[in-house]
Structure 1
Amino acid sequence: MCNTGDIHINGLEGPYTMVLIDGMPIVSGLSTVYGLSGIPSSLIERVEVVKGPASSLYGSEAVGGLINIITKKPQQASRLSADIFGTSWREYNADLGLNQSIGKKANVLTGVNYFNFTDKVDHNHDGFTDMTLQNRISVFQKWNFNRKENRLLSLAGRYLYEDRWGGQTTWNKSFRGSDKVYGESIYTKRWEVLGNYQLPVKEKMFFMFSYNNHDQNSVYGDEWYLAKQRIAFGQLTWDKRLGKHDLLIGAALRYTYYNDNTAATELVGDDGEIINDASKMTMPGVFLQDEIKLADKHSLLLGMRYDYNSDHGDIFTPRMAYKWSITDNDILRLNAGTGFRVVNLFTEDHAALTGARDVEIEGDLKPERSVNVNLNYIKKLQLGDGNLLSFESSAWYTYFNNRILPNYDLDPRKIIYRNLDGHGVTRGISLNADLAMYNGLKLTAGGTWMNVFNKERNEAGAMEKFRPILTENWTATWALSYHIKTLNLGIDYTGNIYGPMRLALLSELDPRPEYSPVWSIQNIQFTWHGGDKWEIYGGIKNLLDWTISKSVPAIAEGEGAGIKSPIARSFDPFNRGVVYGSDGRIVPTSDNPYGLQFDPDGYAYGPNQGIRGFLGVRIRI
């Protein structure tokens, strides 16, 4: 309902991925939600995705992989750029970029992103908005300074403000926080500063730092969530080459402050009075990495990291990577290591915030620990003049201890969080192919098969295997591009397809399917190039008009009969028509024959937004 985005790599959710801007880490559990927002595409040179563990170098949040957003160098960026588009749903987006020289000493890249959507759309007629209304602005600025001997000094900053809400179509801000009309309203203020400074010494030494401040004011129905998060991070590295050894030695310090109005920061005093207890965590660490050139075609990377967490004590994470360049067109890589992640549920898991279920935390949550192995093989083939075909295949295995997962199954009124009394496994294989032909045709296609499961000790003491919710067994993606030179016209057809996911049902009588169907999102875009300075583009998103409502049966009987919605009891968001027994469980009645209660997010596995056209223009000076 709040349209919160996320990133999954190798079957792992967003908080397992580290996001960096020009190699500078955004150290925050919210980085995968907000870290990719608001940087104009005209300022981005490329985006690098590194799958597999990297905790030995970057610490927490680097279990699943890394995403590095690399911005353009001043000589590559346009003096002025603009990208403006709108859709048939009346969504409007504007990206503006400016490249300035400040004398001979510095260069500044400035980007502004603005997004606006204010139409209440309810195509499935369940009384709720199909798409979150949003008003968002983000300002990004990066300074590059010219120093003696080309030493690096780079500073970047970003500010984001967002006002978004979803809920009953009759909601307005006068109902914010009340039990009259249901709405989920989020005000977000976030700013961050990042920097990279090369020390003025002969040795190759760098100091990287970041600071982010996140302020969130949210309501979910009549439940308030007010939170502040501040994270400061600094890291000093020394890169030293000794013969066949390329050493990287470093020390890091991370400080995290978190405070909210939930049970996560409450402490019961001696007199029984509830006291606010903001979380303050300090984590110093040291690491060593050695890349060894074993032979012309073989290299080995060994790394280890030690951190001391003020709440959880000693954390040790080793890592090993091996690269074999069999030929110029054949490369084999093996990456293995351990990972750890300090979890903050209320900044990482949106489900913990919804007002529809009570959150229950069992015991003190310990950090998740993992062992990871990733095998990767790349093959390139030259097919005649100018035609190139490349394959990339990967296989991975991740084993978790202390994994923290939400349990929706034990009690439909609650989300229960606890460390798994057992272990979790994420494993899979993927194959991707890229074909580039001299006639302008490009094809990228890939498929991934995953097996994600947990094993936990049941009441009888035996280990029981189960599949977590919202994890698909397989997925595939493709992108087909063709450039018609005579017309200066580019055509792009992209899509993805997802296998079934297990979904959170509310009772044994819940009429909604336990597994999602196979579903696909497909898009087409046409781009006309008017020289080097401008282009016009347009097309259709979600060609198949797929939404979650397509897979949900209409309510057959009782109150709300005929409504077809993925939101359980959308007509009764404050559960006024729900009857509870003495044990607290829902009692089926003639008005509620399926024993359901309002649940806006438990069944959210795909989009609510259907087919739409878009049209835009890009200008570069």
Structure 2
Amino acid sequence: MNKVIMGLFALIVCSITSAQVSDELKGVIKAKENGETIELVGANVYWSGTQTGTISDGSGRFNVPRVSGKNFLVVSYIGYVTDTIDVSNKKNLKIELLPDQQLDEVQVAGKKPGAYLSRLDPIATINVTGEELCKAACCNLSESFETNASVDVAYSDAATGAKQIQLLGLSGNYVQMMTENMPNFRGLATPYGLTYIPGTWMDAIQISKGTSTVVNGFEALTGQINVEYKKPLDSEKFFLNLFGSDMGRAEANVNGSIHVNDKMKTAVFAHYSKDMMSNDLNDDGFRDEPLLSQLNLMNRWDFNNKKGFTSQLGLKFIDEERLGGEMEFDDNKPSDEYYGIKIDTKRLEAFGKAGYIFKDQVSSIGLVANWSHHKQNSFYGLKTYDATQNSFYANLLFQSIIGNENNKFTTGLSFQGDMFDELLQMDYRDGNTSNNYLRDEFVPGMYFQYTYSIPERLTLIAGVRSDFHNIYGTLFTPRLHAKYNIAPKTILRASAGKGFRSPNVLAENSYLLASSRQLLIADDIDIEEAWNYGANITQYFDVAGKELTFNMEFYRTDFVNQLVADADQSARLISFYNLDGKSYANNFQVEAKYEMLRGLDVVGAWRMNDVKTTYNGVLMERPLNSKYKGLLTLSYATPLKKWQFDYTLQFNGGGRVPTTLENSPVNQRPDRFEPYQIMNAQVTKFFRKWNVYIGAENLADFKQPNPIIAGDDPFGSEFDSSLTWGPVLGRRIYFGLRYFIDRE
């Protein structure tokens, strides 16, 4: 009954709710170069005397929310004279900046921005735009970070195709995954959720490091990754993407938006992908990657009454099937003749947002909510795992000021509910080995956040929240963020705060069932708790009329309690237990970005990871983690952007591998892996309404040697596919076509 009530409540809320409201000022920023009018991409736009603003997009356009009592808009761009404009009673602006005559030469390439660090956000936030996503084979979210220095994505194992994300040296369990600022892909969706968002559906990705604000919950121990879907207001009228690879993968994406009238708009998104060829390039008898078939559909509606109220409503459906295991296996049921893996997933999501801005233009109220039903039927060799998860999230928030615009606050109430029903059968031939795991988690919460700002100099955000977990009790979460403009081109950010995370041992680690290792789970697993603190300094230099961006940062995560996954006690099991001792992650990174030549963007980065956890009383390096990562990206667009060439080189440091000395000599592995490099490249040819691209991933064809242990005896005691630290697939060549009809 609880499940029915929860689902109905979610659908009722979603049917009346939706997105954040704003009375916005729109415009376009242009300039003249050599007699030709061009759009200025990435120009800063903000209200004079405030920290509220934005940057212009790939077409020079911007939307900025109005601020009560502020009528002067500041527009700036390196190489041009900063302009302050009175925008009283104006709704649409056409702004043309004049060249700064103090510079000997001004060169502006009309390239759309790729990934950039927001100058205005008090939290260190990397914005990944649609332009950046097109630089690689961005078929889904898991492939969206190949050109990003901060985020790593790797296979969790060598058999199921599960992928995990890493941020600040820790796995994606500690990153709060969001879609349009709503928590998503929790529990059962954790191993495969990165493939649930097609690349062509995404408008942008925001990557926030360290603890987030308290508004979005008590999680986010190391950061947040938020995906913004394309909106009906400004997405293409029609978009088609066709993709294929030499490994037999094919996919098609179709998007379209309709403006029903000036108040109501809708968009439809469809995705279908299928692997049509099994590959075993390392000759271990197992498919290098499961055969994947996915149907993904979404419809969303936007409503704006032009009087302060806006709302959004969306519905999303996923039907996915994975078939892996030995090359000879091709069946829909477990077999003791050939080792097979099948994971059949059906997922339904509904989301809604609603908001209203009061007549004073400084106070607003909003409600966001989402609901998901996730059902997985799967087997791994002789093991079967069937599970269902129903989740509901709601956040009611109120924003206003205290006295003036320099003192703002946000307060609200939230609710997170997750209901799990998991059935694990260790041998399908023996019904006595079944274990049924039932768990309901309900977490109501409340929060208050205060923001103080000295315009163009200092911003402080202090927040606290209390959540009341039905299993783990009261969770108190304090967080603090600061941004200080030391100089006009020098920005210092710092953050500190606590985070909690409720572990879902089996749901989040189901890929480990593709192994002969036993899963030994302690009875007293507690909630995970950690402090995160760090600092970030960004310096902008004027070099030869162009801007060099240099960023340096350090973050540390200290665990008070952690779910420890111990693979070192024995090669026959993985033990899950509460932390007893120290566990921490230190992360240091430097990054520089510069337009070396006109049209040629260069990004270089280097990151060091120091991640250690106490395993069975011994403080040890976290296994299967690279000690460092280097990144070099080159992106060149010819004049008028007829061609674009993109190249990425990744340097991955070595790391520790859990002991396999218990195995027979032929199935033992070294206790460390060596550094390795990955190269990707892509060439794109642009036409007026379409473009074609061809590229290659892992150009040097590097593969982890023998990623599956005892693949010749998968039903034996030494079979293990979980010790994965590098690429499982070798070189992949792909090609595609994009066709679009833009909205005016």
| Band of TM-score, shorter chain | 0.7 to 0.9
In the alignment, the residues of structure 1 paired with residue 472 and residue 641 of structure 2 have an alpha-carbon distance, to the nearest angstrom, of: 62
Relative to structure 1, is the Cα distance of residues 507 and 440 closer, same or farther in structure 2, using a 3 angstrom cutoff?
Answer: same
Q: Please list the CA deviations of residues 496-554 of structure 1 after superposition, one character each: whole Å capped at 9, or x if unmatched.
A: 221112123332555321112211221111100112x10011022210001112xxxxx
Is contact 1:372-1:398 (8 Å) kept?
yes
Residue 152 of structure 1 is matched in structure 2 by 310
Q: Return the letter of the residue paired with 2:581.
A: G
How far off its partner does 1:71 sit?
A: 2.9
Does 503-512 or 336-345 show the bigger shift? 503-512
Residue 465 of structure 1 is matched in structure 2 by 619
Is contact 1:55-1:61 (8 Å) kept?
no
Relative to structure 1, is the Cα distance of residues 389 and 32 closer, same or farther in structure 2, using a 3 angstrom cutoff?
Answer: farther
In the alignment, the residues of structure 2 paired with residue 102 and residue 215 of structure 1 have an alpha-carbon distance, to the nearest angstrom, of: 35
Q: Work out which of the residue numbers 400, 423, 435 in structure 1 matches 2:559.
A: 400
In the alignment, the residues of structure 1 paired with residue 708 and residue 320 of structure 2 have an alpha-carbon distance, to the nearest angstrom, of: 25
Q: Please list the CA deviations of residues 195-222 of structure 1 after superposition, one character each: whole Å capped at 9, or x if unmatched.
A: 1111475540111111111101110101
Q: Work out which of the residue numbers 36, 39, 49 in structure 1 matches 2:207.
A: 49
In the alignment, the residues of structure 2 paired with residue 140 and residue 247 of structure 1 have an alpha-carbon distance, to the nearest angstrom, of: 34
Relative to structure 1, is the Cα distance of residues 457 and 619 closer, same or farther in structure 2, using a 3 angstrom cutoff?
Answer: closer
In the alignment, the residues of structure 2 paired with residue 121 and residue 72 of structure 1 have an alpha-carbon distance, to the nearest angstrom, of: 34
Verify: 1:613 aligned to 2:703, yes or no. no
Identity %, equivalent residues = 27
Verify: 1:98 aligned to 2:98, yes or no. no
In the alignment, the residues of structure 2 paired with residue 110 and residue 290 of structure 1 have an alpha-carbon distance, to the nearest angstrom, of: 38
Q: Please list the CA deviations of residues 68-93 of structure 1 after superposition, one character each: whole Å capped at 9, or x if unmatched.
A: 21233434311100111111112112
Residue 600 of structure 1 is matched in structure 2 by 721
Give the 3-state SS of the residue equivalent to 1:609 in structure 2. coil
Residue 347 of structure 1 is matched in structure 2 by 507
In the alignment, the residues of structure 2 paired with residue 68 and residue 137 of structure 1 have an alpha-carbon distance, to the nearest angstrom, of: 23
Residue 572 of structure 1 is matched in structure 2 by 713
How far off its partner does 1:61 sit?
A: 3.7
Correspondence list, 1:471-550, <5 A = 471-485=625-639, 488-508=642-662, 509=665, 511-531=668-688, 533-549=689-705
In the alignment, the residues of structure 1 paired with residue 277 and residue 517 of structure 2 have an alpha-carbon distance, to the nearest angstrom, of: 28
In the alignment, the residues of structure 1 paired with residue 548 and residue 454 of structure 2 have an alpha-carbon distance, to the nearest angstrom, of: 29
Residue 588 of structure 1 is matched in structure 2 by none
Verify: 1:255 aligned to 2:255, yes or no. no
Provide the TM-score with structure 1 as the length reference: 0.87
In the alignment, the residues of structure 2 paired with residue 419 and residue 487 of structure 1 have an alpha-carbon distance, to the nearest angstrom, of: 55
Verify: 1:245 aligned to 2:407, yes or no. yes
Verify: 1:291 aligned to 2:466, yes or no. no
Is contact 1:225-1:262 (8 Å) kept?
yes
Is contact 1:27-1:233 (8 Å) kept?
no
Residue 372 of structure 1 is matched in structure 2 by 532
Verify: 1:316 aligned to 2:476, yes or no. yes
Residue 360 of structure 1 is matched in structure 2 by 520
Residue 114 of structure 1 is matched in structure 2 by 272
How far off its partner does 1:273 sit?
A: 13
Relative to structure 1, is the Cα distance of residues 141 and 437 closer, same or farther in structure 2, using a 3 angstrom cutoff?
Answer: farther
Q: Please list the CA deviations of residues 273-308 of structure 1 after superposition, one character each: whole Å capped at 9, or x if unmatched.
A: 999552111111111110112565112111111011
Is contact 1:93-1:115 (8 Å) kept?
yes
In the alignment, the residues of structure 1 paired with residue 190 and residue 487 of structure 2 have an alpha-carbon distance, to the nearest angstrom, of: 36
Give the 3-state SS of the residue equivalent to 2:173 in structure 1. helix
Correspondence list, 1:96-245, <5 A = 96-174=254-332, 176-199=333-356, 202=359, 203-242=363-402, 243=404, 244-245=406-407
Is contact 1:223-1:355 (8 Å) kept?
no
Q: Return the letter of the residue paired with 2:714.
A: P
In structure 1, list runs of 5 or more residues that go unmatched.
Answer: 265-271, 459-463, 550-564, 579-596
Is contact 2:425-2:434 (8 Å) kept?
no
How far off its partner does 1:334 sit?
A: 0.4
Q: Please list the CA deviations of residues 558-596 of structure 1 after superposition, one character each: whole Å capped at 9, or x if unmatched.
A: xxxxxxx32111111111xx6xxxxxxxxxxxxxxxxxx
In the alignment, the residues of structure 1 paired with residue 434 and residue 695 of structure 2 have an alpha-carbon distance, to the nearest angstrom, of: 56
Q: Return the letter of the residue paired with 2:168.
A: N
In the alignment, the residues of structure 2 paired with residue 571 and residue 33 of structure 1 have an alpha-carbon distance, to the nearest angstrom, of: 26
Residue 436 of structure 1 is matched in structure 2 by 595
Runs (4+) off by over 6 Å: 272-275
Verify: 1:419 aligned to 2:578, yes or no. yes
How far off its partner does 1:29 sit?
A: 3.4
Is contact 2:458-2:482 (8 Å) kept?
yes
Give the 3-state SS of the residue equivalent to 2:379 in structure 1. strand
Relative to structure 1, is the Cα distance of residues 263 and 501 closer, same or farther in structure 2, using a 3 angstrom cutoff?
Answer: farther
Give the 3-state SS of the residue equivalent to 1:477 in structure 2. strand
How far off its partner does 1:150 sit?
A: 4.1
How far off its partner does 1:352 sit?
A: 4.1
Correspondence list, 1:72-91, <5 A = 72-91=230-249
Q: Return the letter of the residue paired with 1:249.
A: T
Is contact 2:645-2:684 (8 Å) kept?
yes
Correspondence list, 1:326-337, <5 A = 326-337=486-497
In the alignment, the residues of structure 1 paired with residue 488 and residue 301 of structure 2 have an alpha-carbon distance, to the nearest angstrom, of: 38
Give the 3-state SS of the residue equivalent to 2:195 in structure 1. coil
Is contact 1:39-1:112 (8 Å) kept?
no
Does 152-161 or 164-173 show the bigger shift? 152-161
Q: Return the letter of the residue paired with 2:341.
A: E
Does 94-103 or 338-347 show the bigger shift? 94-103
Give the 3-state SS of the residue equivalent to 1:278 in structure 2. strand
Provide the TM-score with structure 2 as the length reference: 0.73
Q: Return the letter of the residue paired with 1:70.
A: E
Relative to structure 1, is the Cα distance of residues 183 and 334 closer, same or farther in structure 2, using a 3 angstrom cutoff?
Answer: same
Is contact 1:449-1:475 (8 Å) kept?
yes
Residue 582 of structure 1 is matched in structure 2 by none
Is contact 2:608-2:629 (8 Å) kept?
yes
Q: Return the letter of the residue paired with 2:635.
A: S
Q: CA RMSD in A?
A: 2.2
In the alignment, the residues of structure 2 paired with residue 108 and residue 41 of structure 1 have an alpha-carbon distance, to the nearest angstrom, of: 19
Q: Return the letter of the residue paired with 1:395.
A: F
Give the 3-state SS of the residue equivalent to 1:57 in structure 2. helix
Looking at both structures, which has the greater relative contact order when contacts are Cα pairs under 8 Å and sequence separation is at least 6? Answer: 2
Is contact 1:55-1:340 (8 Å) kept?
no
In the alignment, the residues of structure 1 paired with residue 672 and residue 515 of structure 2 have an alpha-carbon distance, to the nearest angstrom, of: 24
How far off its partner does 1:43 sit?
A: 4.0
